[in-house]
Amino acid sequence: MSRSIAVFAAAAAVVAAASPGLAQSIERSTTRSETTTTQDGDTTRSVTRSTTVGGSISVDADAAIGALVGALEDRADPESRALRRRAERIRAEDAFGVWVADDGGRDVGDCRLTFRDRAFLGVRGVGAEGCPARLARISNWRVENGEALLFRGAGDQDPMRLMMVEGRLIGDGLTLAREGDAGPGPTAGDLDRRDDRGGWSARLSAEDYSGAWKHIETTNTGHRRECTLRLTTNPSFGALGASASGCFGDLMFVSTWRLEDGRVALYKAGGATVAILRGGPSRLSGRTEEGAEVVLYR
């Protein structure tokens, strides 16, 4: 019997003894009798000793069912496990602002969700624009255990859980990307494991990030244009050489870069920081020191 089948059988046996939603109690007792006979001359005496052994067990059916469902879902959802290896913990400030929704062509249309920054007890508001009913009802969000939870009202007990994967929020069949982020990258249906090297704890080197990267800039008139950032492994005054081509925003000043604690740091001549980016060897995202969104892809 495989381990998964054994786990299911054991959990099912426990759940079968309980009704969902109620804590069940089972008690059992056993009485044992022992008779001893002795003879003293013409007198016979009999002594009977009785011993009662008892015990009880309580089963929380809700907890048992939850553990069983969680174990089965984890085994049945390879997509979630693959994405979790590539995900990083979300900070609230990483999610502020407008996100464009994509559900793989289902019914999301031109849905945009705005994650607001004003909080009360860690809960913040969400604005929905052009969204289908199932997403238009999302009203609040908060960060829990490094994930973004989206609530459909205060009484929602089953919020949507989104992970941050290379600058995008992914989960529950939904992908949220920043406006202008039209490059290739992870989606809710992504099972591409080419960058799956054991998760964010994997040791990547400068060679993994070197080469040409694309970035989409938006001009003051709303036009979009593509520029190129090239990262090299050539030493340059304690860092590595970099150059930009066709960039007119903050990236045009990038001249060096370093890999620092798993993040790509971009610098100007003289050492001032341009941006700190997170991600894998095919996609990087982050913000400049002035707060502008940067997404690099290739």
Tell me: the pLDDT tens digits for 200-230?
Answer: 334 678 999 999 999 988 777 778 889 999 9
- DSSP 3-state of 72: helix
Q: How many domains does the chain have?
A: 3
Reported in sequence order, the residue ranges of 41-105 that DSSP labels E, i.e. its strands, are: 43-60, 97-102
> Which of the pair, 83 or 238, is modelled with greater confidence?
238
- For the record, the structure tokens of 62 come out as 């809700």
In a domain, 147, yes or no: yes
In a domain, 192, yes or no: no
Q: 26-30, 251-255, 294-298: lowest mean pLDDT where?
A: 26-30
290 lies in which domain range? 206-297
Rounded Cα gap, residues 108 and 132, in angstroms: 6
On whether both 51 and 94 belong to a single domain, the answer is no
The conformation of residue 85, written as its DSSP 8-state character, comes to: H
> Which of the pair, 101 or 6, is modelled with greater confidence?
101
On whether both 101 and 153 belong to a single domain, the answer is yes
Among residues 158, 177, 196, the one where a domain terminates is: 177
Q: How many C-beta atoms surround the C-beta of residue 229 within 10 A?
A: 24
Nearest to 115 by CA among 146, 80, 151: 151
Decide if pLDDT at 254 tops 60. yes
In a domain, 198, yes or no: no
Decide if pLDDT at 239 tops 70. yes
Confidence at residue 200, expressed as pLDDT on a 0 to 100 scale: 36
Decide if pLDDT at 47 tops 70. no
Confidence at residue 48, expressed as pLDDT on a 0 to 100 scale: 58
CB contact at 8 A, 284 and 277: yes
On whether both 220 and 282 belong to a single domain, the answer is yes
Rounded Cα gap, residues 267 and 265, in angstroms: 7
Decide if pLDDT at 127 tops 80. yes
Mean pLDDT, the chain, integer: 76
Residues pairing with 284 in the sheet: 279, 296
Nearest to 283 by CA among 158, 192, 221: 192
Confidence at residue 195, expressed as pLDDT on a 0 to 100 scale: 41
- DSSP 3-state of 180: coil
Confidence at residue 4, expressed as pLDDT on a 0 to 100 scale: 47
- For the record, the structure tokens of 169 come out as 């929020």
What radius of gyration, in Å, describes the C-alpha atoms of the chain? 30
Among residues 138, 157, 177, the one where a domain terminates is: 177
Greatest mean pLDDT among 51-55, 64-68, 125-129 lies in 125-129
Greatest mean pLDDT among 3-7, 23-27, 87-91 lies in 87-91
In a domain, 162, yes or no: yes
